[in-house]
Structure 1
Amino acid sequence: MKNVIKYMKGYRLVFGLAILSIVAATVMQLATPILIQYTIDSIIGTEPAGDLQFLMDRFGRNIMSIVGLVLGIALIRAVFLFLKGYFSSYAAENIAQNLRDKLYKQIQYMSYEYHTKRETGDLIQRCTSDVETIRRFLGVQIVDLGRILLMVTLSVIIMVRMSPKLTVYAVLMIPVLFAFSFIFFTKVQKNFKKADEAEAQMTTVIQENLSGVRVVRAFGREKYEIDKFETVNHGYKEKVYKLIEILAGFWSSSDFLTLVQSGIVLVVGARMVITGEITIGILVAFITYESMLLWPVKQLGRLLSEFGKTTVSINRIEEILSEPIEQVMPYETRPEIKGEIIFEHVNFSYPDGKQVLKDINFKIEPGETLGILGSTGSGKSTLVHLLQRLYEYEGTIKIDGQELKTIEKQWTRQKIGLVLQEPYLYAKTVKQNIGILRNDFEEAEIYEAAKTASIHDNILTFRDGYETVIGEKGVSLSGGQKQRVAISRTIIDSDKRILVFDDSLSAVDTETDMKIRKALKKRSKDVTTLIISHRISTLAEADTIIVLDQGRIIQKGSHEALLEEEGLYKRIWDLQKMVV
């Protein structure tokens, strides 16, 4: 409840108005049985009107006047119910919107390492279904809680005034229903968590399948994917069905207990009418109030079940919101970046203890090109990721003489362009993908960047040219085309003083590779460049080349110098020459 109240911040007054509206509507509802009792006993019958004598004095023994009063009360109640729904829905929708915004912002600023460990489908589930569960609780159930408490309290007070003896019989089963509702609440909470997690697993399978549709088609894995989905779908169905069984058990049992309670009131009340202890009007009113009393108690079970679901959803959302995010520290600065890079005794290990980089040392002058060669898993990509502080490291990394840890992360990433081997493209036009960093790029700038990446001529052959929508993740493009669009997107920004190509030329042919490198060198002659590649011809023109093996630099030098010494670089060069 503490978190529920926290989410209501800024809208508590609106919720207060919703509660006042439901109070007024409840009072109107409770007035109707009193008028029915008065009609039966004092208008049709001859009993004294008691507290309602003023109605007889004003309207006489007139049934139509009572009908008018009942209709008027119903109309007033309808207005207050509308206001209750309006205020609670207004607040709940705004809270849900704010919560989604907060979650999305939180996800954007959480560490890169966090995202590498979490399933996308699970995060989507928390930002959609779990937020919807909270919205529904705030919009409906939390206001109904006030209604239930008020209805029970006022109904009992009125019933005691009518007949204390019959009231005792009327509340016999209520403690049982309360206990039953609480037991039901604990069961629903546990099973809803299982169902929610199963739905997240199913969402993950769908998301992965849609994202990897090319791989599925290429390897003919449709049957496997269908079987996998059917398995998780069946698991989700079983958990939801278990939840439905619990709900069905509660409602059927509570209905039985309610009918037993109503039967007790009817039998005892009928005997009291026969003996003259109460009037027929009181019995009719009593039965009406009994239904008003039992309905909220039954509804409490529903409210507790929804509260159980909401607590699960809140816990899942709070797990995200409680994660540490990347923040700008007071000592972090935004220095001018020219491109000098120094690594001194840099080490890096993953949280599981596996050391990836060991005592890395090198220096790159502004405008120079560093080539990085190494086998898969040697630490090449991790090394360049440290430059953008996607991970924290041990040792010293300096940019233009300033320790990287003292530079604001967002500033560093604005100045360092990173092109990945598997770039992510959006389901937008080619032009929008290339100019996605800003909205004010001129067409000439977009075309020039595309020409530098040797993709301009290809784009012109597309059906709509630069206005061609390339599909989610660039699914309609080849691997080489995606890489070149990603290169265009990175180099269009002249603020990038350091460019990193993480094996991002691997999907283009050797001739195109050479054309791109020449164009890049001409366009970005003052930009420091780091190139990771398995193709030595791509690295040959670099000022310095380092060779990584098991996280260590085992060779360093120019292309010519490395060919003169025996080692991994020369062996790879000889193998690639043989293949050519």
Structure 2
Amino acid sequence: MKTNRTSAEFQPNRVLSYFKAEWRALLIVTVSGLIYNIGLLAGPWFEGTMTGYLVEILNGTGQFSGMLMLVISFAVVTAVVQISRYVKRFYVRRFANNVNRRMKETLYGSLVKKSRASLREEGEGNIMTKAILDVDDCVEGMRKFTTEIFDTGVALTAYLCMLLWYDWRLTILCMLFPPISYVTAEKMKKVIQKAGAAYKEQSGRLSTATLDRAENAMTYRVFGLEKKRQAVYEENLTSYEKAAVKANIWNAAMPPIYRIISMAGVFFILYFGQKNVLGTGWQAWSIASFTTFLVCFVKLSVKSSSAAKLFNAVHKAQVSWNRIKPLLPQEEGNETDEVKVKKTPVEALKVKHLSFTYPDGKKILDDISFSAKKGQIIGITGAVACGKSTLGKAFLCEYPYEGHITVDGAELQNME
């Protein structure tokens, strides 16, 4: 039997499989990302050189034509770097969109095979949250991870090498602070994960309550429970709002703190750097060298704080992935090669001793029997909440029933 090799190798419950499936986009991201982040080194060098040249012009030792060439060169290099940045971000977003689409298609395909009873047992609102919010958060974490490999990893390495080349002693002294921001981010991991998990759980409860109000609005109105259910819904809504605010506060408040910690080394640069310029420090610096070193460290600190922020996104994605992973199949097979649905007209339907009892013990269908042939129309009537919808859902196999429903002699709930 001929099988789809790519489909057979893809494993929806493994994060690495999504990266492998998008290797073309990631290859373009790699090339453009290297060009962009290595090209970022030109910024501090040009800024420092132009500052030094401006001082020479003001002192009467420099020429305007030299400054003009520097400005033109800086503009050209900046254009190349920004084009590479655009290409990288475009394909990172394409990668994220493709993963989002693939993950949701796989998840939806898994959910439609579940019975209504099993879905309700887990909570339809919770399932909706997993299918939408958790997938989005998981993919966002994958996107940020892919982006920060270059925007942080490669850039940090390049900036660090440049700083070491100018003054390795001062660089080591200044670099004491970025690791502190990483440790701080790691220490906040449990708090952020707990807040994110509580938000997702409350979001699922609110979705379940919303579906319940929509589906059973008439029933609650008939039995006079509308105000009571409204009060319960308001409680769920208030709890959701509090959980959302708490989760957003932690996500928004920490990145500025990481950046402040990372940039604390600026004080050492201002103190020891001016000594280098005056010729009494570890290195002999010009104004251009001092400016280049300062700009380079500021850019490194910004990238460093982004790495700490990445931890928050990854932690949030881990929570989401752990929620949706059990719903994803072990591997994605080629169903068109293995399953062939034979469509034939139904000639006869027989129902014998059909009964159904809800999990709470309430029996809604009791010993129902009838038969029907092709072309016949059977009407089902009764009071509100007498079991009409439940009977219809039994024919859809949404509920496990007792007794028999046979279609042309075959048991309905055993049919695929």
Instruction: Answer whether TM exceeds 0.5 for this pair.
Output: yes
* Greater Cα offset, 276-285 or 377-386: 377-386
Partner of 2:40, secondary structure, is: helix
2:32 counterpart of 1:21: yes
Q: Is the CA contact (8 Å cut-off) linking 1:103 and 1:321 kept in structure 2?
A: yes
Q: Distance in 1 between matches of 2:223 and 2:18?
A: 47
Q: Distance in 2 between matches of 1:197 and 1:137?
A: 19
> Which amino acid counterpart does residue 67 of structure 1 have in structure 2?
V
Shift of 1:140: 4.5
Q: Is the CA contact (8 Å cut-off) linking 1:21 and 1:83 kept in structure 2?
A: yes
Shift of 1:279: 0.9
Question: What does residue range 481-496 of structure 1 map to in structure 2 within 5 Å?
Answer: none
Shift of 1:67: 0.8
Q: Is the CA contact (8 Å cut-off) linking 1:145 and 1:303 kept in structure 2?
A: no
> Which amino acid counterpart does residue 130 of structure 1 have in structure 2?
D
Q: Distance in 2 between matches of 1:262 and 1:299?
A: 18
Q: Deviation per CA, 1:363-422, whole angstroms, max 9, x where unpaired?
A: 9696899999xxx9999998987665545679987655556566x33xxxxxxxxxxxxx
Query: Compared with structure 1, are the counterparts of its residues 366 and 318 closer, same or farther at alpha carbon in structure 2 (3 Å cutoff)?
Result: same
Query: Compared with structure 1, are the counterparts of its residues 174 and 194 closer, same or farther at alpha carbon in structure 2 (3 Å cutoff)?
Result: same
2:158 alignment counterpart: 154
1:297 alignment counterpart: 304
2:291 alignment counterpart: 284
1:34 alignment counterpart: 45
1:486 alignment counterpart: none
Query: Compared with structure 1, are the counterparts of its residues 91 and 159 closer, same or farther at alpha carbon in structure 2 (3 Å cutoff)?
Result: same
* Greater Cα offset, 18-27 or 129-138: 129-138
Q: Distance in 2 between matches of 1:347 and 1:323?
A: 35
Question: Which of 102, 105, 113 lines up with 1:101 in the alignment?
Answer: 105
Q: Distance in 1 between matches of 2:18 and 2:361?
A: 40
Q: Deviation per CA, 1:154-204, whole angstroms, max 9, x where unpaired?
A: 111111111111111121112211111212233212211111221222233
Which protein has the bigger helix share?
A: 2
> Which amino acid counterpart does residue 192 of structure 1 have in structure 2?
G
Query: Compared with structure 1, are the counterparts of its residues 196 and 75 closer, same or farther at alpha carbon in structure 2 (3 Å cutoff)?
Result: same
Q: Is the CA contact (8 Å cut-off) linking 1:41 and 1:279 kept in structure 2?
A: no
> Which amino acid counterpart does residue 308 of structure 2 have in structure 1?
G
Shift of 1:333: 7.8
Partner of 1:106, secondary structure, is: helix
Partner of 1:109, secondary structure, is: coil
Q: Deviation per CA, 1:320-339, whole angstroms, max 9, x where unpaired?
A: 324999x9998998787542
Question: What does residue range 129-148 of structure 1 map to in structure 2 within 5 Å?
Answer: 129-148=133-152
1:533 alignment counterpart: none
1:306 alignment counterpart: 313
2:8 alignment counterpart: none
Query: Compared with structure 1, are the counterparts of its residues 38 and 191 closer, same or farther at alpha carbon in structure 2 (3 Å cutoff)?
Result: same
1:566 alignment counterpart: none
Using structure 2 for the length normalisation, give the TM-score.
0.76
Q: Is the CA contact (8 Å cut-off) linking 1:199 and 1:236 kept in structure 2?
A: yes
* Greater Cα offset, 376-385 or 256-265: 376-385
Q: Distance in 2 between matches of 1:171 and 1:293?
A: 10
Partner of 1:172, secondary structure, is: coil
> Which amino acid counterpart does residue 145 of structure 1 have in structure 2?
I
Question: What does residue range 561-580 of structure 1 map to in structure 2 within 5 Å?
Answer: none
Q: Distance in 1 between matches of 2:316 and 2:46?
A: 40
Query: Compared with structure 1, are the counterparts of its residues 202 and 331 closer, same or farther at alpha carbon in structure 2 (3 Å cutoff)?
Result: closer
Q: Distance in 2 between matches of 1:383 and 1:186?
A: 47
Question: What does residue range 191-340 of structure 1 map to in structure 2 within 5 Å?
Answer: 191-215=195-219, 224-247=228-251, 249-274=253-278, 275=280, 277-280=283-286, 281-322=288-329, 337-339=346-348
> Which amino acid counterpart does residue 285 of structure 2 have in structure 1?
T
Q: Is the CA contact (8 Å cut-off) linking 1:26 and 1:151 kept in structure 2?
A: yes
Shift of 1:148: 0.4
Give unpaired runs (5+ residues) of structure 2. 1-11
1:170 alignment counterpart: 174
Shift of 1:238: 2.3
2:5 alignment counterpart: none
Higher relative contact order (Cα pairs below 8 Å, separated by 6+ residues): 2
> Which amino acid counterpart does residue 304 of structure 1 have in structure 2?
F
1:82 alignment counterpart: 86
Q: Is the CA contact (8 Å cut-off) linking 1:188 and 1:308 kept in structure 2?
A: yes
Partner of 2:21, secondary structure, is: coil
Query: Compared with structure 1, are the counterparts of its residues 203 and 105 closer, same or farther at alpha carbon in structure 2 (3 Å cutoff)?
Result: same
Q: Is the CA contact (8 Å cut-off) linking 1:151 and 1:296 kept in structure 2?
A: yes
Q: Deviation per CA, 1:293-326, whole angstroms, max 9, x where unpaired?
A: 111211112211112222222222223324999x
Q: Number of aligned pairs?
A: 394
Q: Distance in 2 between matches of 1:180 and 1:189?
A: 14
Q: Distance in 2 between matches of 1:62 and 1:331?
A: 75
1:527 alignment counterpart: none
Question: Which of 7, 23, 37 lines up with 1:12 in the alignment?
Answer: 23
Identity %: 17
1:499 alignment counterpart: none
Query: Compared with structure 1, are the counterparts of its residues 69 and 223 closer, same or farther at alpha carbon in structure 2 (3 Å cutoff)?
Result: farther
* Greater Cα offset, 378-387 or 31-40: 378-387
Query: Compared with structure 1, are the counterparts of its residues 365 and 81 closer, same or farther at alpha carbon in structure 2 (3 Å cutoff)?
Result: closer
Q: Distance in 2 between matches of 1:383 and 1:226?
A: 29
Q: Is the CA contact (8 Å cut-off) linking 2:40 and 2:155 kept in structure 1?
A: no
Q: Distance in 1 between matches of 2:402 and 2:226?
A: 45
* Greater Cα offset, 300-309 or 94-103: 94-103
Question: Which of 109, 112, 117 lines up with 1:113 in the alignment?
Answer: 117
Q: Is the CA contact (8 Å cut-off) linking 1:43 and 1:62 kept in structure 2?
A: no
Shift of 1:215: 4.9
> Which amino acid counterpart does residue 204 of structure 1 have in structure 2?
T
> Which amino acid counterpart does residue 130 of structure 2 have in structure 1?
R
Shift of 1:289: 1.3
Q: Distance in 2 between matches of 1:381 and 1:343?
A: 18
Q: Is the CA contact (8 Å cut-off) linking 1:202 and 1:232 kept in structure 2?
A: yes
Q: Is the CA contact (8 Å cut-off) linking 2:195 and 2:247 kept in structure 1?
A: yes
* Greater Cα offset, 388-397 or 254-263: 388-397
Question: What does residue range 497-576 of structure 1 map to in structure 2 within 5 Å?
Answer: none
1:91 alignment counterpart: 95
Q: Deviation per CA, 1:211-243, whole angstroms, max 9, x where unpaired?
A: 444456667766545543432232223223333
Partner of 2:188, secondary structure, is: helix
Q: Is the CA contact (8 Å cut-off) linking 1:188 and 1:305 kept in structure 2?
A: yes
Partner of 1:152, secondary structure, is: helix
